[in-house]
Amino acid sequence: MASSAIHTAAHGFRPVRLTLARELRALTKSDLASRIERTPSAITQFEGGHVRPDAQTLKSIALALGLSVEFFSADVSTTLIPLDACHFRSLRSASQRQRRQLLAQAALLGDLVGLLEHEVEFPPERVSEASQVASVEDIETSATGVRRAWGLGLGPIPNLTKLLENKGVLVMRIERSIREVDAFSFWHRGRPCIFLIMEKQSSSRTRWDAGHELGHLVMHADAIPGSPEMERAANRFAGAFLLPREPFLSECPRRLNWPHFFELKARWGVSVAALVRRARDLGCLSEATYRRACIGLRQNGPREKGEPPMENPRLLAEALKVVRTDLPIESVASSLSLSAADLFDLLALSDEDRTLLSGTA
């Protein structure tokens, strides 16, 4: 590593980039301090902008975090995303360290979108067209209004992830190693963002999570996240959006007819568990029947049969493909002061996309 590059990076050190890097690697200040043989208070001083690390210390930090020294002085308008701006699922079981790691990834993806927007025209966001709602009936009306505004009609949505991306939502994967978070959503630089766990064995649940997070983006943009009432409202929105009232009422059985419910799952791409909940919400099943259905579903195990195809996000991968002739992946990564491998991991790209974008096809 050239000595001049280290000194240049140390001179241009930006505290926010150290916080971003540390949280990206899921380290506490004490963790990082131990790795570079400094005190946690020294890391606090660096991140607070009160003290600037010298060249040797910055080199040690870069090595400890597996990033280039240039990362810490990059002239990128990175904005850290506060925890209280996000609607997290499974908030209680997820550690703050995991949540901050996910938000660090999201901040870097925001930088990537900002870079690519100079080269590619992204779909404009159309989520903010809807207004906040309060009552259950308002939720039903709001979900129907979003469908109407987006020209969806009242039938099944073939690919919800593709639809959201076409409406300007940034949809991204959550690392499979982070099991304690199902999904989360937030607004970042005027763009709605949804992060989802994506597993082939529960693709219908992923679709439901996407609908749930869309509900937060539509209804709770200015609300403080975390209340049980908002979670219930987002669930009701997901049901109303994925299973519109009128067609669902005409198709839903009035008793526990399991073969019929699995037929509805194949048609609407929603889990049987979600279908029976929607049936309860609309009065097709009594509370007692609903509880009996839940017991039956639990006894059959956590995985339902007949899962729909997985819906993978494509927006950023396709944008990178469009610009790859004039802006190779190495150049994109370098602009963010990342390696191509780090960028691939950040995007959770398939092997096929990695091969194509790296030019080794």
Q: Rounded to two decimals, what is the model's pTM?
A: 0.89
CA 23 to chain centre: 17
Classify the C-alpha dihedral 228-90-241-215 as positive or negative.
positive
Protein fold of 83-242: Arc Repressor Mutant, subunit A (1.10.10)
Query: pLDDT digit string (tens) for 35-88?
Result: 999 999 999 999 999 999 999 999 999 999 999 999 999 988 778 888 877 887
No. of H helices and E strands in the chain? 18, 4
The span from the CA of 280 to the CA of 175, in Å, is 33
Query: pLDDT digit string (tens) for 335-345?
Result: 999 998 899 88
Distance set, CA 361 to CA 216, 240, 331, 353 (Å):
40, 44, 18, 10
In the chain, CATH 1.10.260.40 sits at 3-73
The predicted structure's pLDDT at residue 53: 96
Amino acid (1-letter code) at residue 304: E
Superfamily for 3-73? lambda repressor-like DNA-binding domains (1.10.260.40)
**Residue 85 DSSP code:** G
The string of DSSP codes covering 134-201 is -SHHHHHHHHHHHHHHTT-TTS--S-HHHHHHHTT-EEEEPPTT-TT--EEEEEETTEEEEEE---GG
Query: pLDDT digit string (tens) for 110-155?
Result: 899 989 998 999 999 999 877 667 787 899 999 999 999 999 999 9
Closest by Cα among 148, 119, 166, 106 to 313:
166
The span from the CA of 33 to the CA of 61, in Å, is 9
Are 232 and 136 contacting, i.e. CB atoms less than 8 angstroms apart? Answer: no
The predicted structure's pLDDT at residue 247: 96
Instruction: Give the H/E segment covering residue 212.
Output: helix 203-219
At 214 the three-state DSSP class reads helix
- Measured in degrees and rounded to the nearest 5, phi and psi for residue 194 equal -130, 130
- Would you say residue 210 has pLDDT above 80? yes
Instruction: Give the H/E segment covering residue 226.
Output: none
The span from the CA of 53 to the CA of 85, in Å, is 30
- Would you say residue 168 has pLDDT above 70? yes
In the chain, CATH 1.10.10.2910 sits at 83-242
